Amino acid sequence: MVQKLDKTGGEVMGDGGRGLIGGEEGLFLLALARAVIAERLGLATGEPPLPPGCDPALLGQRRGVFVTLKLRGRLRGCIGSLSPQQPLLEGVRQNALNAAFHDPRFPPLDAAELTELRIEVSILTPLRPLDYADGSELPSLLRPGRDGVLLEGGGFSATFLPQVWEQLPDPVAFLGHLCLKAGLPAEAWRHERLQVKTYQVQSFSES
């Protein structure tokens, strides 16, 4: 389930379910991510206060969370944790800083980029193993646009958030690129017995 929230109050879409974050909490998490990045750059002095409409219990949940940064529509950083290692607020704080300054694919963010930066926070459901008998089954078992996928095998692993389906809508191409990201041959999903886990996300993004 992919949810998107326009920072200025646009429509929120999702499937519903236990533990979902509401619009007020989503806006706060986006503001928190931006504030900690700005503070690290010397452009702000502290985090925003928790608005009255936010539920502290929801924000205190231990959840997997990713923070994605885009600049002029292009990826500028994406770091997160798949497992619920820490409360949601702390996960957003740490992953916002890691995405901005410690993603090895990019140089550290500089202050001049912050104005044009767009932030997305993705909150994960628990990982679930995907049972399959043969690699040829995998494309039909995945749900494009809904499932995030984790591949593991031979000491290698990689994940794609559900948002990646927007660039790779074909399950065969999706799996091939995910194998390459893991350092495996593109066809490894067909021939090797890989562990496959799926998850869904709620995502909130700045407009």
Which domains are seen in the chain, by residue range? Answer: 23-125 (3.30.700.20), 128-200 (3.30.1490.150)
Residue 7 confidence (pLDDT)? 41
The mean-pLDDT minimum among 4-8, 82-86, 98-102 falls in: 4-8
Whole-number mean pLDDT of the chain? 90
Each residue's pLDDT tens digit, 150-200: 999 889 999 999 999 999 999 999 999 999 999 999 999 999 989 999 999
Residue 27 binned pLDDT confidence (cut-offs 50, 70, 90): very high
pLDDT at 15 over 60: no
- Residue 69: CA count within 13 A, CB half-sphere: 30
Q: Which has more pLDDT, 14 or 198? A: 198
- Residue 45 has a pLDDT of 82
Global pTM value = 0.87
Q: Which of the two residues, 128 and 16, has the higher pLDDT score?
A: 128
Contacts of 18 (CB under 8 A, 6+ apart): none
- State yes or no: pLDDT of 20 exceeds 60: yes
Answer yes or no: is pLDDT of 11 > 80: no
Of the candidates 65, 204, 205, 68, the one whose C-alpha atom is nearest the C-alpha of residue 124 is 65
| DSSP letter, residue 125 | P
Q: Is 51 exposed, middle or buried (0-12, 13-18, 19+ CB in 10 A)?
A: exposed
